[in-house]
């Protein structure tokens, strides 16, 4: 028996409506690609310095962001440059010759030393003795790291209610 045009149209329509649905992966991949690029671009605004030894840094209301510089970390029992131990502080009077040697090595790896000196960030805890901190900073200056920055923990400025 031959079906009429109307009956064939009904069969086609009925067949279309009761098929298993499909998922368009192309548009889904496009959305995820855009999302990945968005997150990559916006995540670069935040600078967090690695504080491996969990030093309690001093708090400050400084607004400038941290830059990628050489990091000298002063812990209670050692001095680290870029995470590598260069001097021990367990002995009574600290010997900073290892720090000076490492800074000289890092300076020599630079192509050119700017006239204003190289940058270094000193990361020391709140309870670090000022005398030791001054010796570390003076050693940095002696090795042409004259732009010394101190790492601090950002504390939001409090607004006075008045």
Here the tokens at position 51 are 């504080």
Where residue 141 falls among pLDDT bands split at 50, 70, 90? very high
Q: Report the pLDDT averaged over residues 101-106.
A: 91
> Is pLDDT of 106 > 60?
yes
**How many residues can be counted in the chain?**
162
On whether residue 28 sits in a domain, the answer given is: yes
Q: Are residues 78 and 105 in the same domain?
A: yes
Domain that holds residue 25: 5-43
Here the tokens at position 64 are 């400038």
Please state, in angstroms and rounded to a whole number, the distance separating the CA atoms of residues 122 and 145. Answer: 11
Q: Are residues 29 and 77 in the same domain?
A: no
Q: Are residues 85 and 148 in the same domain?
A: yes
On whether residue 49 sits in a domain, the answer given is: no
What's the confidence (pLDDT) of residue 43? 72
> Is pLDDT of 73 > 80?
yes
The model scores a pTM over 0.75: no
Q: Are residues 148 and 81 in the same domain?
A: yes
Q: Are residues 20 and 96 in the same domain?
A: no
On whether residue 52 sits in a domain, the answer given is: no
Please state, in angstroms and rounded to a whole number, the distance separating the CA atoms of residues 86 and 79. Answer: 6
Where residue 51 falls among pLDDT bands split at 50, 70, 90? low
On whether residue 110 sits in a domain, the answer given is: yes
> Is pLDDT of 47 > 60?
no
> Is pLDDT of 127 > 80?
yes
Backbone conformation region of residue 149, classed left if phi is above 0, alpha if psi is from -120 to 50, else beta: beta
Q: Report the pLDDT averaged over residues 63-88.
A: 84
On whether residue 30 sits in a domain, the answer given is: yes
On whether residue 87 sits in a domain, the answer given is: yes
On whether residue 116 sits in a domain, the answer given is: yes
Rg (CA), the chain: 31
Q: Between 161 and 115, where is the model more confident? A: 115
Q: Are residues 69 and 39 in the same domain?
A: no
Q: Is 74 helix (H, G, I), strand (E, B) or coil?
A: strand
What is the count of structural domains for the chain? Answer: 2
């Amino acid at each position: 028996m031959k079906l009429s045009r109307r009956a064939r149209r009904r069969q086609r329509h009925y067949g279309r409506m009761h098929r298993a649905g499909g998922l368009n992966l192309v548009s889904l991949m496009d959305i995820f690609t855009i999302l990945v690029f968005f997150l990559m671009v916006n995540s670069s605004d935040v600078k967090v310095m690695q504080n491996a030894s969990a030093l309690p840094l001093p708090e400050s209301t400084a607004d400038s962001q941290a830059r990628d510089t050489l990091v000298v970390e002063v812990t209670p029992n050692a001095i680290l440059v870029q995470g590598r131990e260069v001097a021990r502080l367990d002995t009574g009077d600290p010997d900073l010759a290892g720090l000076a040697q490492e800074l000289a090595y890092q300076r020599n790896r630079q192509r050119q030393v700017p006239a204003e000196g190289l940058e270094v960030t000193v990361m020391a805890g709140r309870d670090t003795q000022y005398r030791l901190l001054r010796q570390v900073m003076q050693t940095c200056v002696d090795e042409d790291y004259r732009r010394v920055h101190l790492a601090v923990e950002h504390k939001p400025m409090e607004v006075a209610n008045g």
